[in-house]
Each structure stands twice: as structure tokens, then as C-alpha cells.
Structure 1
Amino acid sequence: MSRSLRTRFKLQIAFILAGSLLLSGCANTGSSMLDNDAGPDPRLTQGNDAQFFSKSGYQACAVGAGIGILSCALSNSNNKAVCAVAAGIAACGVAMGANYYLDQRRSEYADTSTRLQKMNADVQQDTQNVIARTATAQQVIKDDQARIAQIKRDMANKKLDKARAQTQIAEIDQNIARLRKDLTNMRNKATEYAKVADMERAQGSSAEIKQVDMSIMKMNAKVASLQKEVDALYSQRSAITLG
């Protein structure tokens, strides 16, 4: 296959990816707008930290990557295919998968040491995102625990407003579901980083790999800590049966 044909093929793939990403983003937005049921606590959906782990990697970067890829295709860039891939990695990072992430980083940084330093910075940034999300989650969890405690007191004193309690329990269930979804996406990111580290490790061990491993370990520890808090809330909620 000639170079021109390869470039054209890559560009076609970029167009397809852009279209699918944009459609995914639009479809996701539309479905949420059509949902008339009460959602989770607004602090879990509207805060500054809500964007990082609320969706799967593919969904999370859909619109941003799609727009970037289309911009490349319409630009005067000499290498539209490379531009398109760069737009994707800027919007998605490791969220789009270990192979995608590593291929792009290798195209940017031929030196393994520099590449690993960049990856380590990415892991540390996502760890900070986990910490920010945890802070928000803890506020919501604390309030939900207070509501559960009040429902228990009202049940014990035979003063329970059942309809109100059912609404509150439904809201707490929504919060737990949202946080569990976030946790799944957090773990997925950490897993993809670990895959990248293993692929780089095959090229030879280094001090940078050890630093990346430590950063991934710290990220996993933060995720595990949040998991415990969500599990504790679920246990407290599960102890309530309104009948």
C-alpha cells in the first residue's frame, strides 16, 4: 500500500471515529434529557469533579474528541491523520485504551524516560481527580447517612412518614448507583494505566517505571478508600425495610 493510500485510509478511520464519537455523545445527552425520573444528588452530577469519572472512557471523551478530529479533517494540516489521533488523545487520554494511549505517547516522545514521566504526570492528575471526587462523595454520603439515621429514629418512634421516607430512600439509591458507576470507571482507568506500564516494562525496567507503578498504586488506594465509604452507605441503606 502506498503512503498516500495509507494516509487516506487513516483519515477515513478518523472520520468514522469522529462520527461515532459525536453520535455517542449526542445520544448520551439526549437520553439523560428525556429521563423524567429524579436523578442523583446534583453535587454528583453538576460539580467540577463530575465530568472525570461519571461516564465510561468512550463516552467521556466523545464530544471533545469528535470535534477535535473533525477540526483536523477540515484544517490545512499537512498530516490530517496524525492531527486526528493527537486530537483524540488530548480529549481522551488513557480512557480510550492502553494501546491507543501508548501508540500516541510513543509518537510524541521517542525517549522512553520522557514518555514515562509524562505518563506518571497523567496518573497523578487522575489521582487528584479521584481525591476531588471523593471529597464531593463524602459530603453526599454524610447527608445520606443522616437521612437514614432519621428514618430509623422515626420508625422506632412510630412517627415515620412513609411516602417521604420512600422518596428519600430512592434518592439515596440513585446516589449509590452513581457513585458505583464512578468507581467502575476509576478502576478501569487505573487498569489501563497498569497495562501501559506493563507494555513499557517489556522494553526494560527503569526508575521511571517504578515511579509510575507507585503512582498507580496510590490511585488504586484512593479508589479503594472511596469504595469502602460507598459500601458502608449501602450497608446502612440495606438495613432499612419500609414494607
Structure 2
Amino acid sequence: MQSKRTSFKTKASSWKKALMMSAVAGSMLVLSGCVTTGSSMLSGNGNGAAADPRLTQGNDAKFFSRSGYQACAAGAAAGMLGCAITNPGNRTQCMIIAGLGACGVAMGANFYLDQRRSEYANTSERLEAMSADIQADTRNVIARTETAREVMEEDKARIERIQTDMAAQQLDQAAAERELAAIDSNIDILRRELANMRKKADGYQEVAAAERAEASPAEMASIEQDIDLMNQQVLALQQEVDELYNMRSAITLG
């Protein structure tokens, strides 16, 4: 009887992985166009103004620019290609692991928790892995903030110059419109990325809450400290983007 239950659980687990793999593969096919054109989608705000290349093409541009499904599709595609080349003997299992690993909490807390539980039966090991993920995402937020600050400082200087020219009645209207449109594009990108950052942080918080019953108080305190640090970094960037937005909103060209 016990062997039958074990067999049933094994089959259920295999079916679950297969279904999740199908979801990954489906998202790859549906979103392949979005992934390949992602940088062009982020290059402007629809008014023909190009955003700063540091926000669309830099090393840190990839981490929070896409939705969870797009990030999953892009990472899974790369991982699956690697499996086909490097692990032909066990290609299916390799592709499942690569596909799920590429998605992470970007695909949602339940997806992430199921993924980690399939990898680690021990709660402590899962929390340790999640801590590493949170810390990596926090480093990415910090790196993105450094890039964003460079761009925003220049945008603020542009706004101040426009305000000075307006006060002196020396404004080049067409040039000012182009500059403000580019600033708007930068703000749009940063606001989208902030939304994705917050979703990730919220996802980690949901997973932590789901693990609380089986974790020790010390483990929970450690993981919540990691999440708090990530939230603090996201909030700091949010405040700076809001400051730039408020400066931009104060200008109305006639």
C-alpha cells in the first residue's frame, strides 16, 4: 500500500513538473516577440522620444525591465538551449530545471514556492536559498539605482536649464519639447521597473509568510531582515524618481 502511495506521489510530481514546463514553454512561444523587441519597447514613451541608453542598454537594464512572464521566457529560452547542447543525455530533466529556475519569484509567490519545494525538502535550506535570491535582487536594485541617479541628475539639470530659459524668455520651444519628452521616457521606464521591484519584494514576503509555520524565529527574523533591506532600497529609488517627476510636472510649455 505504501509503495502504491509513493508511486502515486512520484507520478503526481512528474505530472506537476510537466505541466509547469508546458507553461514555461508556452510563455516562451507567446512572448518570444516581446523578448526580442524588449529594448525597443523601452526606448521611448510613444512620442518618438528616445530614453537614455543607460536605462535601456546597460548591464543592469535587464533585471527589472520586463514582466515576470517575459523574464521567465527569456531566461528559460537561454537555459533550455544550454541543456540541448551540454546535457543531451538527460535533456528533459535539465530543461525543466532550467526553465523553472529562470522564472523565480518574478512569476509569483506560489510558483516560486513550488519551485523551491521541488528542490529542497528542508525548510531551512529553502529559506537559505531564498535569502541568497533576495540579496542578489537587492544588489541589482542598488546597481540600478546608481545608474538611475546618473540619468536623473542630468535630467534635473536639463529641467533647471529649461526653467532658466523660460524665465529669461530665451526658450527654444522645439528643443525643450524634445528634452522633456526624453525625460518623460526615462521616468516611464523607471516607474515600470519600480513596479516590478515591488512585485518581487511582495512575492518574497508572501513566500516567507507561507514558510513561517515550519521556520524557526531566528530564520524568519533573518529572512525578514533581507526583505526589509530590499524594500528600503526600492523605497529610496522611488523617492528619487518621484522628486524628478515633481520637477518635470512643474513645467508646462505654452
TM-score for both structures, normalised by structure 2: 0.85
Q: Which amino acid aligns with 1:77?
A: N
Superposed counterparts of 1:102-117, under 5 Å: 102-117=113-128
Look up the match of 2:112: 101
Change (3 A) 1:4 1:211: closer
Look up the match of 1:122: 133
Deviation at 1:14, TM superposition (A): 2.2
Equivalent residue in structure 2 for 1:43, among 41, 47, 54: 54
Please provide the CA RMSD for this pair: 2.6
Look up the match of 2:3: none
Change (3 A) 1:142 1:118: same
Aligned equivalents of 1:173, 1:65: Cα separation in 2: 32
Aligned equivalents of 2:38, 2:117: Cα separation in 1: 37
Retained in 2: the 8 A contact 1:17–1:66? no
Between 1:215-224 and 1:31-40, the stretch displaced more is 31-40
Deviation at 1:28, TM superposition (A): 4.2
Look up the match of 1:53: 64
Look up the match of 2:34: 27
Q: Which amino acid aligns with 1:207?
A: A
Deviation at 1:88, TM superposition (A): 2.3
Between 1:52-61 and 1:14-23, the stretch displaced more is 14-23
Look up the match of 2:90: 77
Superposed counterparts of 1:179-194, under 5 Å: 179-194=190-205
Retained in 1: the 8 A contact 2:24–2:99? no
Aligned equivalents of 2:223, 2:38: Cα separation in 1: 38
Deviation at 1:196, TM superposition (A): 0.6
Q: Which amino acid aligns with 2:57?
A: Q
Q: Which amino acid aligns with 1:11?
A: A
Look up the match of 1:140: 151
Retained in 1: the 8 A contact 2:35–2:73? no
Cα deviations across residues 3-43 of structure 1 (Å, max 9, x unaligned)?
66974675365245313323303234347658883331100
Between 1:201-210 and 1:34-43, the stretch displaced more is 34-43
Equivalent residue in structure 2 for 1:151, among 130, 145, 162: 162
Look up the match of 1:199: 210
Unaligned 5+ residue runs, structure 1?
Answer: none
Q: Which amino acid aligns with 2:32?
A: G
1:209 aligns with 2:220: yes
1:17 aligns with 2:24: yes
Aligned equivalents of 1:111, 1:4: Cα separation in 2: 21
Deviation at 1:118, TM superposition (A): 1.3
Deviation at 1:63, TM superposition (A): 2.2
Aligned equivalents of 2:239, 2:23: Cα separation in 1: 41
Look up the match of 2:101: 90
Look up the match of 1:240: 251
Q: Which amino acid aligns with 2:27?
A: S
Aligned sequence identity (%):
53
Between 1:103-112 and 1:113-122, the stretch displaced more is 103-112
TM-score for both structures, normalised by structure 1: 0.88
**DSSP-derived class of the 2:170 partner:** coil
Q: Count matched residues.
A: 241
Between 1:227-236 and 1:66-75, the stretch displaced more is 66-75
Retained in 1: the 8 A contact 2:28–2:76? yes
Deviation at 1:92, TM superposition (A): 1.9
Q: Which amino acid aligns with 2:165?
A: D
Between 1:152-161 and 1:69-78, the stretch displaced more is 69-78
Deviation at 1:90, TM superposition (A): 2.3
Deviation at 1:167, TM superposition (A): 0.3
Aligned equivalents of 2:174, 2:82: Cα separation in 1: 52
Aligned equivalents of 1:111, 1:12: Cα separation in 2: 24
Q: Which amino acid aligns with 1:225?
A: A
